[in-house]
Amino acid sequence: MSTQEVKICQCCGMPLSEEELISREPDGTLNDEYCKWCYADGKFTYEEKGPLLDFIVGHMPNPDNIPDEERRAYFDECLSKLNYWKGK
């Protein structure tokens, strides 16, 4: 049994399972380190984690009704492990 490695966006953590989700450089070449929402045309959407965390907490399902502060701390910890945020 073989498992296929799915890359994730190194900014938001979204799985990059389809080419249409992958970002592009200004010359049109794929940049498979980021999704098209975090990096487009050579520019990053998020320079700070705060706005990205606001978006994630506001849009991710929360079926267990975990308090937003706890969810934000969890997502912040996850994002901090991604290459984009490691040096920030």
Supply the pLDDT for residue 1.
37
70-84 residue pLDDT tens? 999 999 999 999 999
80 domain residue, yes or no: yes
6-45 residue pLDDT tens? 899 999 999 999 999 999 999 999 999 999 999 998 999 9
Query: How far apart are the C-alpha atoms of 34 and 64, rounded to whole Å?
Result: 29
Which range marks the domain in which residue 35 is found?
Answer: 19-86
Q: How many domains does the chain have?
A: 1
User: pTM for this structure?
Assistant: 0.87
Q: Supply the mean pLDDT for the chain.
A: 93
62 domain residue, yes or no: yes
- Where residue 2 falls among pLDDT bands split at 50, 70, 90? very low
